[in-house]
Structure 1
Amino acid sequence: MANRSDNIVAEEARAIEVGEETGATGGRRRDTWATHTGFILACVGSAVGMANIWLFPYRVAQLGGAAFLIPYLIFVALLGFTGVIGEMSFGRAMGTGPMGAFGKAMEMRGVRNGDRIGKIIGLVPTLGSLALAIGYAVVLGWACHYLFSALTGELMAQTDTGAFFGAMASDFGNVTFHLLGLAVTFGIMILGVSRGIEKANRVLMPTFFVLFVIIAIRVAMLPGAEAGYMYLLVPRWEALLNPTTWVYALGQAFFSLSLAGCGTLVYGSYLKKDVDVVDAAKNVAIFDTIAGLVAACVVVPAVFAFGLDVSSGPPLLFITLAQVFQEMPFGGIFAIILFVAVVFAAITSLMNLFEAPVEALQGQLGLSRVVSVGIVAVAAVAVGLFIENGSAVSDWMDVISIYVIPVGAFLAAVMFFWVCPAGFAKQQAELGRAKPLGKWFNFMTRYVFVGITAVVIVLGIFYGGIG
């Protein structure tokens, strides 16, 4: 029986590879990543975003300082070596995004009308990615506005940064910069995967890290910054006895690694067979964590140095840090550096979110890249302009992140680890590796990871969001 099962898996894999030779669009060859490094940087870019810059420092400071890192790193390792590997491998195995991948998985299972049913189910992560991107684009618009204001000196001249942000985050209060952020993002995406997304990430991601290190060095020189380092780095062990610490550590790791059954899966679909996805997943987890730690070493000490509130939540970036730079010597220069980095992080994440619906239009309807990007752009503008109000976009993002994104990750996990034939997922994850994966992989992916995604759905609803 074991040999028969292995033969079935091998035959299905060969059939998928033959189908990929002409591409998912039936005639046009699919774009692929030009280099392994480019793929990793693109995945890092998708993972590194606003959550690393304001939410991670806030969580660390709020929930036990360095003690928070223990559950966080446990979950990053657990999710990275199961979920991230799984979504990359699933996309590469099927050579298409969630709609096509779910359809192929259902066909492999032998379900009647499986392709159609799978594609309908695949709409959940695809539309979830589009909806999240629409809300995220509003935040990119805010970052673009702040960068422009820092460049002109307007930001440093504000007497009330709260009022400045409030006027911007109002109904139709930031249309110009909102559209500018979208234009830059879609302009890169039109060029394609290797010539657009990959090349942009190869520049934006290294620059992001360099800029944040520069700011971290400057913050370390501020009088009073040491109190922030103490608060951030000295572990408060009692926090580990609080279940909330573990819940939010799980949420931070889950959402920061971009587990949603869409973006990482789509990026994996452009991946060549000789790439080691296990190594790629490891690098994504490492650099995503480094980004969060560097941001924490900027935000928390800077806020402490000027006696401001480290627990101010989302306004930490746009209100509290703006006040910090106003009071800091040469603050205008460092405000520019910060918001350049923030814009870069937002663009790289946004490209990943928009790529799922763009790929779906190309793969399922056979549309060109330009037309597909154009349709998604129209949808982003038509909806996004009406949720520019801070409360509206916050509610929008909460609904999508609580009820849709974890469900997408759960569906992708079930499709790859349960619907596809037994052993298929492990075989696909081992492509490009010198050493095979151990027996742990099947148990950890089929039971532990799928179970964790279900838990994230329940906890998100119970807590009103955990990431």
Structure 2
Amino acid sequence: MLFDNAYNDNNIMDTQQTNSPAFSSRLGFILAAAGSAVGVGNIWGFPTQAASNGGGAFLLVYLVMIVLLAYPMLVAEVTIGRLRQRNPVASLRSLSERPWLRRFGATSGIVGLLVLALILSFYAIVSGWLLAYMLAPLMSLLGLTQTATWLTEFSITRNISMMVIFMLLTIYVVRAGVSQGIERWSRRLMPLLFILLLLMAAYILTLPGALDGLKMYLVPDFSRINDPDLIIRAMGQAFFSLSIGVCCMMTYGAYLSRDANLPKTTAWVAGIDTLVAFLAGLLILPAMFAAQANGVAIYAADGSLLSADTLVFTVLPAMFDTLGGAGPYAAFGFFLLMTIAAVTSSISMLEAPVNTLCEETQSRRNGVVWLVAGSIAIFSAIIVFNFDALFGLVVTVTTVYMQPLMALIFGVMLTWVLRQHLLLRALQQGAENIETSYFWRIWPWYVKFICPLLILLVMWRG
């Protein structure tokens, strides 16, 4: 066991930082945590959901969900991680001295990590597609048309090959550890992601038809905001986008210095993530209507979005094909952007179970990385071979239902199980006068009472 059965106020607040990896700076944490949050969910999932659910109406409900649910629960998860500065299983186990609650906490951590592994299993497949579509324009420019065709055609060999390559990229970063791997690459990739996103959005908005997509995105249809399906999808998207309920942020919280102000630092993470999602909408929805102006069908006769689940692999490549000589370069830039976003998220998904196994079994990182990544890759292959039956099922169960449910459990564990004076002491680290702030007056009871009721209400209506 990682900590003694004896449990007291001083024990739970021990730092034990000497044995734990850590980010070298607050900026390193913000970029890494934002990188975990910013991923395919932002640049593929969010715009697709917006396009399928009324554009501006979905954007409005999504922003409300970020403020009312996702941000408060994000603070809760990061707080749990920093309390003990250990892996999620150990951190949740440490919230109580009662044996049954310790077992429940540890079990909750294990379930969260299993959900995370399932998410990474389908995420690696989608990210492999992104990698393939990034390489395809380069192959075409080099005259390797058969290779380019293979990269863009749906096949078992393509799906497995690119999934394995993407997992190897993720392994490369995670093997190097926190500061030399995750933090170093987050510092490099996140600024590049912003630059590419802004350049691509600016370019797309100059194309004919793009302003129609912009109007759809920014002008909400208020008749749709009460749609239960829209609301639950917006909540699921908010939780998926911020990596909540699957122990990623809890793991990164364990690497965060005790000098950092938790509410402000997590607000930066949530703000950057939401900004990227918003900018992605400015890119994708205008691009859809630009494609439509060039003769590409994007909506069916009944108004439903065509190829909703594969929007970025059908509509956008068709639009790039209409751009003439600039098309391959635009396609490469867009899918490079998507691949960077995918990597910044996948490294956090792999890090959480790797860190847990390393600490719980006292094993070496290198071997654990290969064990965990290999196991997830095997399940990804199973999904590939049973794509129609498993892919959509795994996506829906994990992101729409399990993430909010696990986030609810984590929030309840922190606010109902942990004694309030210990919670206050944890938040005072980096914010000495927080007990006099509106945050402390509102956040604990809000997470304790309001967030669970809102999450359950939204799931029940959905």
TM-score (norm 2): 0.88
Once the two structures are overlaid, the 10-residue window that deviates more, 79-88 or 181-190, is 79-88
CA distance, structure 2, for counterparts of residue 143 and residue 248 of structure 1: 23
What is the rounded CA distance, in whole Å, between the counterparts of 1:37 and 1:399 in structure 2? 34
Separation of aligned partners in 2, 1:190 and 1:263: 17
**What is the CA–CA distance in structure 1 between the aligned matches of 2:90 and 2:22, rounded to whole Å?**
17
Q: Find the counterpart in structure 1 of residue 112 from structure 2.
A: 125
1:34 aligns with 2:24: yes
CA contact (8 A) 1:261 1:410 kept: no
1:13–1:93 contact (8 Å) kept in structure 2: no
CA contact (8 A) 2:259 2:430 kept: yes
Query: Do structure 1's residue 328 and structure 2's residue 330 form an aligned pair?
Result: no
Distance in 2 separating the partners of 1:164 and 1:291: 31
Q: In structure 1, give the amino acid aligned to 2:65.
A: F
Distance between the aligned counterparts of 2:69 and 2:194, measured in 1? 23
Q: Which runs of 5+ in 1 are unaligned?
A: 1-10, 23-28
**30-39 or 243-252, which deviates more:** 243-252
Deviation at 1:375, TM superposition (A): 1.2
Q: What's the RMSD between the two structures over aligned residues?
A: 2.6
Amino acid aligned to 2:428: E
SS in 2 for 1:105: coil
In structure 2, give the amino acid aligned to 1:44.
A
2:378 counterpart letter in structure 1: A
Q: By how many angstroms is 1:239 displaced?
A: 2.2
- Answer yes or no: is 1:219 the counterpart of 2:208: no
The residue that corresponds to 1:99 in the other structure is: 89
Deviations 1:182-216 (CA, angstroms, capped at 9, x unpaired): 11101100111111001111111111111011111
What is the CA–CA distance in structure 1 between the aligned matches of 2:273 and 2:204, rounded to whole Å?
Answer: 21
- What's 2:4 paired with? none
In the TM superposition, what is the alpha-carbon distance from 1:452 to its structure 2 partner? Answer: 3.3
C-alpha distance in 2 between matches for 1:334 and 1:88:
38
Contact 1:426–1:441 (Cα < 8 Å) also in 2: no
Does the alignment pair 1:341 with 2:337?
Answer: yes
* Pairing partner for 2:391 from 376, 387, 393: 393
- Quote the offset at 1:65 in angstroms: 3.3
CA–CA separation in structure 1 for the residues paired with 2:211 and 2:394: 38
2:130 paired with 1:143: yes
Partner of 2:281: 296
Asked if the contact 1:86–1:425 (Cα under 8 Å) also holds between the matched residues in 2, the reply is no
Select the residue among 230, 241, 247 that pairs with 2:215.
Answer: 230
- Spell out the pairing of 1:82-231 with structure 2 (5 A cutoff): 82-107=72-97, 111-112=98-99, 115-153=102-140, 167-168=153-154, 170-231=155-216
Distance 2:229 2:377 in 1: 37
Instruction: Return the offset for 1:44.
Output: 1.0
| 1:357 matched to 2:353 | yes
Q: Distance in 2 between matches of 1:242 and 1:458?
A: 13
Of 416, 431, 435, the match for 1:418: 416
* Cα displacement string for residues 376-431 of structure 1 (whole angstroms, at most 9, x for unaligned residues): 12212222222225433332222333453333222211211111113433432332
Query: In structure 1, what is the equivalent of residue 51 of structure 2?
Result: 61
Q: Where does residue 302 of structure 2 map in the other structure?
A: none
- Provide the C-alpha distance between the structure 2 equivalents of 1:244 and 1:402, rounded to a whole number of angstroms: 11
Pair 1:140–1:63, CA change in 2 (3 A):
closer
Q: Distance in 2 between matches of 1:154 and 1:303?
A: 25
Q: Secondary structure at the match of 2:188?
A: helix
- Percent identity (aligned): 29
Deviation at 1:63, TM superposition (A): 3.3
How far apart, in 2, do the equivalents of 1:129 and 1:442 lie?
A: 26
Count residues in correspondence. 438
**Cα displacement (A) at 1:38:** 1.1
1:12 CA drift (Å): 4.2
Query: Which amino acid in 2 is paired with 1:171?
Result: I
Change (3 A) 1:309 1:280: same
Tell me which of 445, 448, 451 is aligned to 2:450: 448
Note closer, same or farther for the CA distance 1:164–1:224 as it changes in structure 2 (3 Å cut).
farther
Structure 1 pair 123–315 and aligned structure 2 pair: CA distance change class (3 A): same
What displacement does 1:454 show?
Answer: 3.4
- Distance in 2 separating the partners of 1:232 and 1:158: 36
Q: Is the 8 A contact 1:137 1:384 kept in 2?
A: yes
Please say if residues 251 and 456 of structure 1, whose CA atoms lie closer than 8 Å, have aligned partners that are also in contact: no
Are 1:383 and 2:385 counterparts?
no
Match of 2:3 in 1: none
What amino acid sits opposite 1:213 in the alignment? Answer: L
Is 1:309 the counterpart of 2:307? The answer is no
User: Residue in 1 aligned with 2:263?
Assistant: 278
TM-score by length of 1: 0.87
Distance change (3 Å), C-alpha of 1:133 and 1:186? same
Range with bigger deviation, 297-306 or 419-428: 419-428
Out of 65-74 and 262-271, give the one that drifted further.
Answer: 65-74
- C-alpha deviations, 1:305-328, integer Å up to 9, x for none? 221316231211111111111112
Q: What amino acid sits opposite 2:342 in the alignment?
A: A
**1:143 positional shift:** 1.1
